[in-house]
Amino acid sequence: MTAGCNKLRWFGLLFLVTLWACGGQQSQQTMMRPAGPMSSRIESLWWFIFIIAIIVFVVVWIFLVGAAAKRKVNAQLPPDIHPDRNREQRYLRRVVVASGLTLVILFGILGHSVVTGKYMYSLESKNPVSIQVYGHQWWWEVQYPNDDASLWVTTANEIHVPIGVPIVLQTRSKDVIHSFWAPNIHGKRDLIPGHSSAIWFQVDQEGTYRGQCAEFCGAQHAHMAFYIVAEAPQKFQAWLDQQRKPAPDPVNPTLAHGKDVFEKGTCIMCHTIRGTNAGSRVGPDLTHLASRISIGAGTLPNNAGALGGWISDPQAVKPGVRMPPNPLPSQDLQALIAYLQTLK
């Protein structure tokens, strides 16, 4: 087998793997599978532009190849020094028609995109589910405000929403420009420091949809992901009720020791665990850490091994992250992980 053939095979394999990855598994991140009305409209605009672009591409190539083939024949003839009036007229008409068609196509795309853009602001409700999202380097703070401060929920990198109802998501940045983007749900929204903005959306299909920061915001921009978990209203309410509860008390000496390590070590300087002495707001609120899909804003799965590695040396996993290394004795680390895993 030749080297060229081998290369081709590798490209084929790479293509298939890419297709499979783009197809999306349990938590998808693709505009091609819209989960609500906003993303459906964005998808149809995308197909509209894509199909037009394909038609234009094919037509241009047909004319280009046609012209090239003709030129070959004409090259045999002596140069034409007397312009043919009729032919010049014919060419002029073609140029005018082609320019007119280009204009029509561009205005068609403009019109479709203006209508789609307007639709993005059409969702209204007197009583929407209200969520606040703050972009940080490099994670997402998520809050569910409530008039009663004891019912206020703060979490991180995971946004639970009920299906079938309008949701308003207010966005702000705590440092640099970020961009909130969950392609299955809506378009991008930039988070500009000092400005707040809001997007309205609705999710109609239950599922877990991955989103990520879409504006370069520093070294770990690529590790600034989040999940939108869309669930039936009762399930969402159950989740919200659970998130409102303070952290459970440790039920055995190991867990008590873990809590002690948290409260007496460096963790308490940045994190909150409601129901304990930890109340700092520099890093994510960890009151219900164990209920989340990932740690480090989509960087690692949320399990004991990953948690241990992350606590011990976050700089090795996500260089530049604000969290310092914590070289804890093994027993302390084990107890701390066990305790954190009870924060459901």
CA atoms within 13 A on the CB side of 163: 13
CA atoms of 248 and 279, how far apart (whole Å): 16
* Binding flags for ligand CUA, 187-226, as an x/- string (CB under 6 A): --------------------------x-xxx---x--x--
Sign of the alpha-carbon torsion through 296, 298, 302, 304: negative
* Binding flags for ligand CUA, 229-268, as an x/- string (CB under 6 A): ----------------------------------------
Residue 167: beta bridge partners? Answer: 129, 201
Pairing of the two strands 167-173 and 197-201 = antiparallel
Q: Specify whether the CB–CB gap between 8 and 176 falls below 8 A.
A: no
Shortest separation between residue 122's beta carbon and ligand CUA, angstroms = 28
What are the Cα distances from residue 61, in Å, to 67, 75, 100, 294? 10, 21, 19, 48
With CA atoms as reference, report the closest residue to 294 among 176, 159, 169: 159
Residues 34, 36, 37, 135: which binds ligand CUA (CB under 6 A)? 135
Shorter beta-carbon distance to ligand CUA: residue 29 or 276:
29
User: Does residue 174 interact with ligand CUA by CB under 6 A?
Assistant: no
Q: Site size for ligand CUA, by CB under 6 A?
A: 9
User: Does residue 285 interact with ligand CUA by CB under 6 A?
Assistant: no
Shorter beta-carbon distance to ligand CUA: residue 213 or 247:
213
Within 10 angstroms of residue 308's Cβ, the number of other Cβ atoms is: 17
Shorter beta-carbon distance to ligand CUA: residue 138 or 144:
138
Within 10 angstroms of residue 269's Cβ, the number of other Cβ atoms is: 11
Shorter beta-carbon distance to ligand CUA: residue 63 or 216:
216
Shorter beta-carbon distance to ligand CUA: residue 244 or 322:
322
Shorter beta-carbon distance to ligand CUA: residue 36 or 314:
314
Residues 178, 186, 271, 274: which binds ligand CUA (CB under 6 A)? 178
Instruction: Summarize as ranges the residues that interact with ligand CUA (CB under 6 A).
Output: 135, 138, 178, 213, 215-217, 221, 224
